[in-house]
Every structure is written in structure tokens, then in C-alpha cells.
Chains A and B, each alone.
Chain A
Amino acid sequence: MEWINAYHQSKKALLIIIFLIFGTFILNLSTGIMPLSLSEIIQTFLGNGTANQELVLYQLRLPRMIIALLIGAGLAVSGAILQGLSRNALADPGILGINAGAGLAVVLFIFVFKQAGTTGVVSPFALPVFAFIGALTVALLIYSLSFKGGVDPGRLLLIGIGFNALCGALLIIIQLKMDPRDFQQATIWLTGSIWGTQWRYVNALLPWIIVLLPFAFFKAKTMNLLQLSDPVPYALGMNVERERRILLLLAAALAGACVAVGGGISFLGLLAPHLARRLTGPNFYSLLPASALIGMLILLFSDFVGKNLLAPADIPVGIVISVIGAPYLIYMLLTKRGNGVKA
């Protein structure tokens, strides 16, 4: 019932976002080194395109766009969960060190196997798993270190920032041991760039998102209750600490899988839930789907900007999002919207 109510309340906003996503998707498909018009795209989808057009569309652009959609949704929902969990509107998997943990695991993995000379092992299916392990490890460490007769949201955030710095330092040690080309690649990747643009990366990422996103939606009621001060959910018979653990794992898993394919994109998990809250209010029933959709839209749009602004150079999408995200953050701080989660 709650779902239907939430849907009716936010129907208009969600439909507008879906429409915008569709428009940006088409825009993104048609631009690039080889421009395609809308009719050419439709012709190609109908099977009447040239071999080149089919190659560009099916093998290059379509998988990249789909990956952008998946990552956008995953990171945005991860951010929404973390903000709800910490009751702080500034939380984000990037700021909390979860992205860095995933990045550290992946860079370590690549570095070790490169040393061993078995690059074939670095398969797209192994990367999300390793990123997941890294993200999970950091999430568990953050959780257990901030546990002191219950998890205080403020402490959770500060410990997360500490781990972000720690992972950053370890990453620098490893990166400086790499040869210049790997160094460059690792830098691009850590900044956040959709690098796996083949169908097999879609196949690697899709199961994670398909399983985890509905699970997050399923937890909407729990998250609504967690927004109240602790005695209330306790009184309602909820195991608050257990739910917090589950949600933290969920956020880490989502961020880990996304970072494996999209790199350390920060600010998306911060921005999307905020805009969603403005559109649909603080109810997680409508907030989570709206965050997912806005995340998709932001990432698609940033990818479009990064691809075309300084073409043929490809600006990593993480940088574009930082440039959009930071002014918003400053605005939030100066209007004191950063202090409470309900802003």
C-alpha cells in the first residue's frame, strides 16, 4: 500500500525524470566521434544500418550507456542508504571511504597479478567480487570501530573519513610502484571513469544491481523508521543494530560492484538523494526510486558532457560530477541544509 501511495504522490516528478533519462540516452547514443542522427539510430535498431553504424551502436555506445545507467542507480541508492543510516545529509560512499576500499582492493589485485604475469585472470567477473570484498572490509571496519554500545551516526562518519584517508595513503604507495602507463590508468580509474564498455561488463554488473536494488527498496520501511530517534524503532520491536548492519552491508555491496566497473565516482551518492528529497520528500518509499532515477540521469548527462566537452579527449566522468557536485554542496552548507538529513 505504501508503495502505491508513494507512487501516486510523486508520479509527475518520476515521469519527468524518466523522460529526461530517455532524452539524454538518445543524445548520448547519437554523439561521439561518429555522429548518428535519430533516424539512423532507429534504422540501425531495425536492422537497416551499415556495418560501421551497428558496430558503434551495439558494441561501443549501448553497453557503455547501460553500464552508466546501472552504476548511476547503484551509487545513488548506496548514498541514499548511507545518508539515512548516518542521519547526515553529507554522507556518500566516496566520502566514507567505501569507494576507496573497493579501489584499493582492485588496484592491489591488478598489481599482484601483473607482477605474477597472469593478466588473463583479471576477468570482468572477478573485479566486482574483489571490489565488493574491499568495500565490505572497509564497511565492516567502519562499523566495528564506531560500535561502542551502539553505533552513533556522527562517529560512523568520522571513522569513515579516517578510513578514506588510510586507503588513499595505501593507494599512493602501490601506485608509485607501478610503471607509468599503469599509473596513468589507475589514476583515471580511481577518479571515476566508465572503462568497461563491453557487454561482458554489463553481464558482470547486472546481477548485482538486479538483486541488490529491489532488496534496498524492500528495506524502505526500515529506513523510514531509522530516521526517528532510536527509542522509537526499539519500541516498535525493531532490532536497530541488526538493521543498521544489514543496510551498511547493502550500501557497501552496491558501491563495491559499481566501483569495480565505474571507478571511484564520488558525489553522485551525495547529489542524487538530495535532489530526490527535494522532489519527493523524505519518505524512503519514494526517495529510493527517485534517487535511483536521478542517479541514472546525472551519470548519463555527466558522461555526455565528459565525452563531448573537450572531444576527442575523454574527461573522466567522476571529474564532471565533482564539478557539478561541489558547488551544490557549498550552497547546501551556506544555507545550512547540510546540518540535518531532512533538508
Chain B
Amino acid sequence: MSILSKTSKTRSFLSKNGHPGRWMIAGLCGVLVSLIFSIGLGAVWIPPSIILDSLTSFTPDLIEHQLIHEVRIPRALTAALVGAALAVAGTLMQGLTRNPLADPSIIGITQGSALFIAIALAFFTNLSYWLLLGWSFMGAALGAILVLLFSVVSKEQLSPVTLTLAGAALSMLFSSLSTGIALYYQVSQDLSFWFAGGLSGAKWIHVYILFPTVIAGLAIAFIMSRSLTTLTMGDDIATGLGHSLHLVRWLSLAAVVLLSGTAVSIAGAIGFIGLVVPHIVRSLVGVDYRYILPLSAILGSFLLVVADIGARMINPPFETPVGAITALIGVPFFLYLARVKGRSM
């Protein structure tokens, strides 16, 4: 009875509040506009007409066209893809742990990646890009598996407060270990890039790596979106409805590792996108993950592209770390959530 009433309540919530299609179209328009601004803004302002020109009739002799093709477009696309990856990873983590505060950067996944990158930088010279990516994956996987172990293995349900604290402690352990390695092997300047998070070095190769990863991650997530929705209603209900919890958890975890591992290896520790986006999306389209997941990807793209524009514009000609900007946006949001929902946790 209670299940039925819950579902019908969900439906009415959706039909009243959610026009997922419209939100998605609006979101995509937002991403498009932000991309145009991201390509146009910089040391030199390039008007949209020239951007369009460079796309339709590319002339290698024009410096502006070169700039657009080699610097601005890959950077904008990287920001969009990294934002989507982080947002979807955060959405999946929040659904899996049933913890509204789970974000790859708060519960240790990002720091796990950074630790393994520190290890790779310290012990191997001339590491190829693909190997570095592999190391980053392993680190993200370690962090994600540890956190998920906490919430799955512990027999009584871990409270979100305890899980967040455990994640915070794990993050601190990982980052102090990577600091130690970086200091001892004198790679701390190199590593500081990953801690700060930045997109200034984005090239086409990053786009080529990110594109299939994000698509794959989104595809896995989307296949399981129904199961994820039932999972949020509790283990018993989900099992009762015939969903294999283990399969859902492991596949989602794989998607989280794939997405956040790639994103961190390319753009460094950019936090809070994965925290903020799922909340906004849930308030827009309700509780159905079939809508939450794609809209998260869109909104994540939009936010990170905008944050990256901010990173370039705040203190020119210097770049402000984009991770710092997302933190400055995300922390007040986190505080708000903690304040509003703290008691119910």
C-alpha cells in the first residue's frame, strides 16, 4: 500500500513539476550558448560570425581561425565533456549511496585518482598519456570501491553523516599520501596542477578520449536508470521488484570509475559539480533517473563551461584554477544542503 501511494505521489510530482523534454531542450540551448562564449572569450574576443566562418570555411592562414581550431574549441569541448562526466558520476554516487552529499571530490574518489597520478609521476618517467589515464582509473576505482564498501558491507545502514565523514577522512589520507610522495620525489609542482584543476592545456586528444568515455558512461547509466530509481526506494523494495542489487551497484560503480577517472586525469580535481548538479536536476524533473541522468549531463556541461570562462576572466591574464571556482560556487550550496537537511540525516 505504501509502495503504491509512493509511486502515485511520484507520478503526480512528475506530471505537475516535470517537463523533462523542455528542460533538456533549454539545457542544450544553454550549453550551446555557453560554448560559443567560451570559444569567443579570451585574450582576444572573437565574434560569433568569425567562429562560424572558421567552421564552415576554415582558412589555415588566418590566426584567428588557427586559434579557434587549436585552442578554443578543444578547450570548450573538454570543459563540456568533463562537466558532463563529473555530474553523471555524482548523480550515480548519490543514488548508489542514498547520500545527498556524495560527490567524487568529497568522498575520496578524486583524491584517489590524484594519489595514483602522484605515484605514476614519481616512479615512472616519460609515462605515455594512456598509461597515466590508466593509473588515474585505478585510483578512482580504489576510492569508489572503498566508499561503496563502507555503505554496503556495514550491516546497519550507514548514516549519510558518517559516510561523508568517512569519505572526508579517506580524502585526507589520499591527499596527504600524495603530498608525501610528491615532496619526496620532487614532483609537487607537477602534481599541484591536479590538485588545482584546470583546463588550460586542453587539446584535441583530450576530446577524443573524453567523448567515447562519457558516451559509454552515460549509456551504462541509462540502461540502469530504472533500477536506480527503484534502488532509491530501499533495498527491500528493489529486491521485491526483481532487480539484482549487486549487478546494479557494480555496473554503476564501473560507470562512476570510468567517468570520474577520465575527468580527473584530464582536468584534475574539480569538485562540487557532482554535488550541485544532481540536486538542481532533481528539483527540476523529479525522481526518475531516466530523466535525471541525461539532464545531469547537460547541466554539468553548462556549469563547467561557464566556470571555465570565469577562470579565464576573473584575473586576466592569469588563470584562476577552475576547481577553486567550482568550490566557491559549490561550498555555499553544500552548506545550504547541510543546513536544511542536516537534521533529517
Tell me the A residues contacting B by CB distance below 8 Å.
Answer: 88, 90-92, 94-95, 145-146, 148, 152, 154-155, 157-159, 161-166, 168-170, 172-173, 175-176, 180, 183-184, 187-188, 191-192, 266-267, 270, 310, 313, 315-316, 318-319, 322-323, 325-326, 329-330, 333-334, 336, 338-339
Cβ of B48 under 8 Å from chain A: no
Chain-A contact segment, one of B13-21, B76-84, B166-174, B235-243: B166-174
Whether A267 pairs with B169 at a CB distance below 8 angstroms is yes
- B148 shortest CB reach to chain A, Å: 12
B110 to chain A minimum Cβ distance, whole angstroms, is: 11
Residue of B nearest to A329 (CB): B169
Chain B, residue nearest A190 (CB): B179
Q: What are 30 of the A-B contact pairs (CB < 8 Å)?
A: A90-B165, A90-B166, A145-B335, A146-B339, A148-B339, A152-B343, A159-B339, A159-B342, A161-B106, A162-B331, A163-B331, A169-B323, A169-B324, A169-B328, A169-B331, A172-B192, A172-B195, A176-B192, A176-B196, A187-B179, A187-B183, A187-B188, A188-B183, A319-B179, A322-B172, A323-B173, A329-B166, A336-B154, A336-B155, A339-B158
- Closest residue of B by beta carbon distance from A339: B162
Q: Are A322 and B320 in contact (CB under 8 A)?
A: no
Which A residue sits closest to B156, measured CB to CB?
Answer: A336
Whether, in the assembled complex, B180 has its beta carbon less than 8 Å from a beta carbon of chain A, the answer is yes
Q: What 1/0 mask marks residues of chain B from 88 to 132 whose CB sits below 8 Å from any chain A CB?
A: 000000000000010001100000000000000000000000000
Minimum CB–CB distance from B344 to chain A (whole Å) comes to 9
User: With A and B bound together, what is the CA distance between A187 and B337 in angstroms?
Assistant: 31
Chain B interface residues toward A at CB < 8 A: 101, 105-106, 146, 150, 153-156, 158-159, 161-162, 164-166, 168-170, 172-173, 176-177, 179-180, 182-184, 188-189, 192, 195-196, 271-272, 320-321, 323-324, 327-328, 330-331, 334-335, 337-339, 342-343, 345
Q: Which of B150, B156, B165, B338 has most chain A Cβ within 10 Å?
A: B165
Given the complex of chains A and B, what is the CA–CA distance between A270 and B170 in angstroms?
13
Q: A95-B172, A154-B343, A169-B323 are in contact. Are A322 and B184 (CB under 8 A)?
A: no
Residues of chain B lying within 8 A (CB to CB) of residue A329? 166, 169
Cα distance A165–B331 in the bound complex, in angstroms:
7
Contact check, A146 vs B183: say whether CB atoms are below 8 A apart: no
Complex CA gap A334/B150 in Å reads: 7
Expressed in whole angstroms, the minimum distance between the Cβ of A101 and any Cβ of chain B is 13
Q: When the two chains form their complex, are residues B176 and A266 in contact, meaning their CB atoms are under 8 A apart?
A: yes
Residues of B within 8 A of A270 (CB): 169
Interchain CB contact under 8 A, B324 and A316 = no
Say whether A322 contacts B173, CB under 8 Å: yes
Interface of A is mostly: helix
Of residues A173, A192, A315, which shows the largest number of chain B Cβ atoms within 10 Å of its Cβ?
A173
Instruction: Report the minimum CB–CB distance from B111 to chain A (whole Å).
Output: 11
Chain B residues whose C-beta falls within 8 Å of the C-beta of A163 in the assembled complex: 331, 335
A146-B176 contact in complex given A162-B334, A184-B183, A333-B150, C-beta closer than 8 Å: no
Determine the distance from Cα of A204 to Cα of B168 in the docked complex, in whole angstroms: 32
- 6 smallest CB-CB distances across A and B, nearest first, come from A155-B342, A169-B327, A158-B338, A326-B173, A319-B180, A90-B165
